[in-house]
């Protein structure tokens, strides 16, 4: 499988703290991204490359700029400076719809679900199947069941309003929505924070599965042990900058923790 060999090439052809590779061109390439909110410099010039079929772990303390960076890739925020290139072509998003049309999907930390709409409606939010102006509820219901079954997500009643569901079920719906429409880039901001053991396993399995299909994944998580099970590379953010990039084989928990809290430079 092409994606599999790419994956191996990506892992083997690297070395050092800042890996350079001769493999495939990056799918997403960020250069000098800056974002300022009022007087707060959220991002101070971040470069980041994301390759097809890899999972990049994005770690850092709270307010390090992880969420802001991923929201820029998903078009939710517009950067003040810097460039975004998707598959070599420079793009300028004017909103989330632009990013979505390039198959960039994101699971937001706040999940971005509509509480008053049922499970099916939330899964198809923004891409409702319709016959003329009318919603095709029957088709969407059948498709939604297939989507959830494929991800081994168990929700008994798909016509229940999302507000009635547990935190874990809500999170599962947000993940299913992002993962089910053939994304090329899948960004997950704390996707496992409210999930139970079996569900976390399912999400990690999902990440490995979509990776094998060539999807580029960005995973933000505070559960560092998860990173070692799915990620190929880890980027560490600190105070709005990227301070380190590590290949997963060349780092360990201790090293990561030091980098996150800012003791990496003292080594």
Partner 1 sequence: MTTYTERAQGSAAADFLAEHAQVLSIAFFFFACLVFFSATTDTFMALGNILNVIRQAAPILIVAVAMTFVIITGGIDLSVGSQVALVNAVAAIILAMGYPWPLVVIVMLAFGALVGFLQGWFTAYQGIPAFIVTLAGLSILRGFALYLTQGYSIPIKDAPGFFALGRGELLGLPVPALIAIVIAVLGYVVIRATKYGRQVVAVGSNMEAARRVGMPANWIIASVYLISGVACALAGLLIAARLGSGSSNAAVGFELQVIAAVVLGGTSLMGGRGTILGTILGTLTIAVIGNGLILMHISPFFTQIVTGAIILIAIWLNTRIFTTNFSFGSGRRK
Q: Which residues bind partner 1 (CB under 8 A)?
A: 74, 76, 95-97, 100-101, 106, 108, 112-117, 121, 125-128, 130, 133-135, 137, 156-157, 160-161
**Closest listed residue to residue 245, CA positions, set 26, 40, 3:** 26
**Closest listed residue to residue 155, CA positions, set 185, 175, 137:** 175
Q: Which is nearer to partner 1, 36 or 160 (CB)?
A: 160
Q: Which class for 98: exposed (0-12), middle (13-18), buried (19 or more C-beta within 10 A)?
A: middle
CB of 112 to partner 1, least distance (A): 4
Contact (CB, 8 A) for 27 and 263:
no
Q: Which is nearer to partner 1, 38 or 133 (CB)?
A: 133
Q: Rounded to an integer, what distance in angstroms lies between the CA atom of residue 199 and that of residue 15?
A: 34
What letters, b where the CB count within 10 A reaches 16 and e where it falls short, cover 18-53? Answer: ebeeebeebbbbbeebbbeeeeebbbbebebbbbbb
Instruction: Give the three-state DSSP class for 160.
Output: coil
Q: Which is nearer to partner 1, 172 or 230 (CB)?
A: 172
Q: Which is nearer to partner 1, 94 or 267 (CB)?
A: 94
CB of 178 to partner 1, least distance (A): 10
CB of 165 to partner 1, least distance (A): 13
Contact (CB, 8 A) for 267 and 91:
no
Q: Which is nearer to partner 1, 88 or 156 (CB)?
A: 156
CB of 262 to partner 1, least distance (A): 32
CB of 2 to partner 1, least distance (A): 30
Q: Which is nearer to partner 1, 115 or 263 (CB)?
A: 115
Q: Which is nearer to partner 1, 116 or 209 (CB)?
A: 116
**Closest listed residue to residue 75, CA positions, set 106, 99, 92:** 99
CB of 118 to partner 1, least distance (A): 10
Q: Rounded to an integer, what distance in angstroms lies between the CA atom of residue 39 and that of residue 233?
A: 32
CB of 35 to partner 1, least distance (A): 17
């Amino acid at each position: 499988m092409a994606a599999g060999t790419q994956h191996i090439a990506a892992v083997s052809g690297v070395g050092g703290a800042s890996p350079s590779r001769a493999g495939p061109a990056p799918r997403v390439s960020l250069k000098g991204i800056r974002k300022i909110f009022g007087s707060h410099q959220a991002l101070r010039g971040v470069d980041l490359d994301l390759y097809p079929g890899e999972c990049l772990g994005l770690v850092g303390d709270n307010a390090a700029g992880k969420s802001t960076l991923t929201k820029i890739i998903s078009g939710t925020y517009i950067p003040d400076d810097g460039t975004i290139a998707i598959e070599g072509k420079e793009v300028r998003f004017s909103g989330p719809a632009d990013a979505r049309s390039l198959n960039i999907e994101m699971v937001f930390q706040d999940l971005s679900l509509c509480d008053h709409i049922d499970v099916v409606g939330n899964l198809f939010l923004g891409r409702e199947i319709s016959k003329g102006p009318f919603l095709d509820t029957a088709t969407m219901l059948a498709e939604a069941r297939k989507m959830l079954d494929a991800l081994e997500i168990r929700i008994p009643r798909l016509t229940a309003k999302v507000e009635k569901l547990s935190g874990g079920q809500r999170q599962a719906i947000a993940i299913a929505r992002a993962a089910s429409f053939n994304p090329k880039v899948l960004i997950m901001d704390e996707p496992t924070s409210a999930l139970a053991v079996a569900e976390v396993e399912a999400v990690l399995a999902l990440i490995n599965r979509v990776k094998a299909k060539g999807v580029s994944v960005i995973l933000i998580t505070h559960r560092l042990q998860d990173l070692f099970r799915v990620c190929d590379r880890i980027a560490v953010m600190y105070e709005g900058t990227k301070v380190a990039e590590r290949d997963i084989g060349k780092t360990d928990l201790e090293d990561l923790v030091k980098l996150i809290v800012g003791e990496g430079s003292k080594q």
